[in-house]
Amino acid sequence: MNKKMIMAGLAARPVRTTVSILAVALEVTLILVVVGLTAGISYETGKRTEGVGADIMFQPPNSSLILAINNSTMPMALENKIKEIEGVKAVAPVQTLVNSSSGLEIIYGVDPQKFDAVTGGFIWHKGGYFKATDDIVVDDVYALAKKVTVGDQVEVLNHKFKVSGIIEHGKGARLFISQQTAQEMTGMVSRASMFYVKLNDPNQVTAVIERMEKVFPTYGLRPLKEYAKLMMSTSMPALDAFIETVVFVAICIGVLVIFLSMYTTITERTREIGILRSLGGSKRFIIGMIFQESAVICLIGIVIGVGSSFLIARLVQFVFPTLIVMITTDWILKASFFALVSGVIGSLYPSMKAAAQDPVEALAYE
Amino acid sequence: MKNLLETIDLRKTYKIGKIEVEALQGVNLRIREGELVAIMGPSGCGKSTLMHLLGAMARPSSGKVLIDGHEIAGMSDSELTEVRRNKIGFVFQKFNLLPTLTAGDNIAVARHIHGSGREHDQHLKEILQLLMIEDKMGRKPSELSGGEQQRVAIARSVANRPAILLADEPTGSLDTKNSEIVLNMFRELNRRFRQTIILVTHNPELVVYTDRLIEMRDGVIVSDNDPFSEDTESELAQPARSV
C-alpha cells in the first residue's frame, strides 16, 4: 500500500518529481563524469608514461606527479651525471609541452636516438622520425581522431607542423617533436623537463634510486613500474581535494533539491498528512513515507545519472577522441551512495516537520 | 449498556495571540455503545473542539476524556495515535479523501494503517453494499460526486470496525438528496452493525435521524435528551457537573 501511495504522490506532481529526479541524476552525473575524466586522463597518461619502457623518471625538485608536466628547469648537463650512476644503462632527456586547445595533449620534445635507447624504439605505422625542425610524430589515436596522415599539416600551440610519422600509441605522449624545436618553443635552451632512465637490471630500481638520492638529494626520483596506479587520484592529494570538492558540491545540489522538493510536498500535502494522522498514522509512518518517496526519487535519479554518465563519456570520446572518461563500478557505487545520503539529509527536516504537524491544524489547512 | 465515551468537567482553552479563548467550559457527557447521537449547536459553540477531544485528536486543558475506559489526557502522542487507529473513525464535512488514490485505495490505506488482515473483508463487503459504492472503488475522488465521496469516506471510517464513528458536519457539503442518502446510511450502519455514531452538526434537520440530541452553546451542554439518564436538562446546563 505504501508503494501505491508513494507512486501516486509522485505521479500527481509530475513536474516537481521530474525536476527532482533530474537534479539527483545531475548529482550522480557530475560526480561520475568529473571523477571519470580526472581518473581517465591520469590513468591513461600514467599508462603511457609506464609504457615508455624506462625504469626511473628523474624530475626537478618539488615536481608534481600530475601528468609529469614540468617546466624545463633542469640543465641538460645532468644527463651525463645520471649516466655516471652505477647501474644506469641509458638516459633520455624530455621536454614536455602541454596543448589544451582541444582536450589535453602532452607533447614530448625528444632526441630520437636517446629516446629509442631508453624505450626500445617506437612501433611505426607510417613514416619515421622528424627530418626537419617543423616535423612532428603523432600516435595512431591522434592520427585517427584528427584524420591526419604522413605529410599532412597540423597546428599545435600556434605552430604549424608536418606529420613525419605515425606510431603505435602508448609511449609517453601522443605527439613528439624534436628536442631542439621544443627548446625553442619553450625558450628553455639546453634544459629538460625530465629524464627517463633505463637500467642495466630492471630489478635494481630501488638500489639505483638510493644511489641517485645520494647524488641528487632534492630531485624527484620515481620508479616507473606501476606508475599508472600512482597516477590514480587516490595517490594524489591534489586530485583528491579536487574530487572531494566536486563530490561536496554535487551532494549540496542533491540535498538542496530534495529538501526543496520534500518541503514543498509536505506543505502542499498538509491536509493529506492530517488525514493520515486522523486515520491513526503514526509519526513514524509519516516520516517513513516521506523518506521512501525521496528514496524513490533518488533511485530513479541514480539510474538516469549512471546512464547519462556513460552517454556523456561516449560523447566526450566522440568529440575528443584522445580523452578518456573512466567510469568505474567503485565510483558508481560511491555516487549512488552519495545520492541516497543527500536524499536522506534533504528529506530529514521536511519529514520531521510533517510528522510533528498537529492533526487538527493539518486537517484545517486550506 | 457499556460506556464508550465519557467526559468529566472537560475544558479546552485556546490561545489566540495574547487572548485565551475557552472553547469548552466544563462538559460532562456519557455515550454508550450503539448510540446514534447528534451534538448540535451554532458555529463557535465548541462542538468541533469537543469532537476533536472525543476523537483523541487533541488533549484537554483540564478535565477528563475516557475513550472506551482509557483516559486520554495523560497519553503520549503515539498513544493518542493508537487510540485513533483502533477505536475511532472520522467522517469530515470536506470528505478528506486522499486525492491521488482511488476510492478503493483510500479504504485500503486506512486498513493498512490499522494493520487489518482479511478478517474484516466480509464486513467491508457488507459496508460497500450498504453504501452502494462497490462499483466505485476504481475511481479517484475527483471522478465521484460529493455524495459518493462522502460514502467512500464513511466506508473508510468504518472499515476497521472502530468503536466510535465521529462525523463532523457530514452533510455540510452535500445537497438535500445526498444528505438524506448519507444520513439514512448512518442510521442503517447504527442499526445493522450497532455502530456507535456521533454526528456533530448545526443543522437541526439532521436530528430526526438520531436517537439522542445534545445541544451546546458557548462551550457547555445546554440540553441532552439522554434516554438512559435520570438527570434533568436543567442539571445538564450547569457546567462542571457529571451527567
| A90-138 tens-digit pLDDT | 999 999 888 876 667 789 999 999 999 998 899 999 999 998 989 999 9
Q: What is the pLDDT of residue B242?
A: 34
> For B183-202, what is the mean pLDDT?
90
* C-alpha cell at position A122: 617506437
A286 Cα to chain B: minimum distance (Å): 11
Residue A240 neighbours by CB under 8 Å, 6+ apart: A233, A234
Strands A194-199 and B62-67: unpaired
- pLDDT mean across residues, chain A: 87
- Considering only CB atoms, A280 lies closest to which of B81, B100, B101, namely B81
A302 Cα to chain B: minimum distance (Å): 25
pTM flag (> 0.80): no
Backbone angles phi, psi at B30, to 5 degrees: -145, 125
* C-alpha cell at position B202: 448545526
B14 touching A (Cβ < 8 Å): no
Q: What is the pLDDT of residue A66?
A: 53
Q: What is the pLDDT of residue B178?
A: 86
CB contact (8 A) between residue A279 and residue B77: no
| B34-58 tens-digit pLDDT | 999 999 999 889 999 999 999 999 9
| A164-214 tens-digit pLDDT | 999 998 888 889 999 999 988 888 888 898 999 999 998 999 999 999 999
Strands A194-199 and A88-99: antiparallel
The overall longest dimension of chain B from CA atoms, in Å, is 52
A274 CB neighbours in chain B (<8 A) are 96
Backbone angles phi, psi at B206, to 5 degrees: -75, -20
Helices (H), chain A: 2-12, 14-50, 78-84, 112-119, 140-146, 179-186, 205-215, 227-231, 237-268, 270-278, 283-319, 329-356, 359-364
Give ipTM to 2 decimals: 0.86
Which of A33-47, A134-148, A234-248 shows the highest mean pLDDT? A134-148
Distances (CA, A) of A83 to A72, A182, A364, B57: 19, 23, 88, 89
CB contact (8 A) between residue B113 and residue A278: no
> For A75-83, what is the mean pLDDT?
91
CB contact (8 A) between residue B58 and residue A275: no
**Would you tell me the crossing angle of helices B103-114 and B77-87 to the nearest 10 degrees?**
120
| B82-141 tens-digit pLDDT | 999 999 999 998 899 999 999 999 999 999 998 877 767 788 888 898 888 999 999 999
B130 Cα to chain A: minimum distance (Å): 22
- Considering only CB atoms, B98 lies closest to which of A2, A272, A280, namely A272
- Considering only CB atoms, B98 lies closest to which of A2, A275, A285, namely A275
Q: What is the pLDDT of residue B235?
A: 45
CB contact (8 A) between residue A279 and residue B78: no
Distance CA B22, CA B102 (A): 40
Nearest CA in chain A to B160: A279
Superfamily of B3-236 according to CATH:
P-loop containing nucleotide triphosphate hydrolases (3.40.50.300)
Distance CA B202, CA B209 (A): 14
- Which residues of chain B from 142 to 201 reach within 8 Å of chain A, CB to CB? 156
Q: What's the CA angle centered on B90, arms B89 and B94, to 5 degrees?
A: 155
Residue appearing with cell numbers 599508462: A47
* C-alpha cell at position A161: 607542423
Distance CA A306, CA A28 (A): 7
Among candidates B64, B57, B75, B1, which has minimal Cα distance to B31? B1
Distance CA A170, CA A46 (A): 10
- How many other C-beta atoms lie within 10 A of the C-beta of residue B219? 24
| A228-277 tens-digit pLDDT | 666 654 555 667 788 888 889 988 988 898 899 888 888 888 888 999 99
Q: What is the pLDDT of residue A190?
A: 84
Per DSSP, A123 falls in state P
Per DSSP, B139 falls in state S
Q: Find out whether B130 and B81 touch, Cβ atoms under 8 Å.
A: no
- Considering only CB atoms, A280 lies closest to which of B85, B96, B98, namely B85
Per DSSP, B161 falls in state -
B106 Cα to chain A: minimum distance (Å): 9
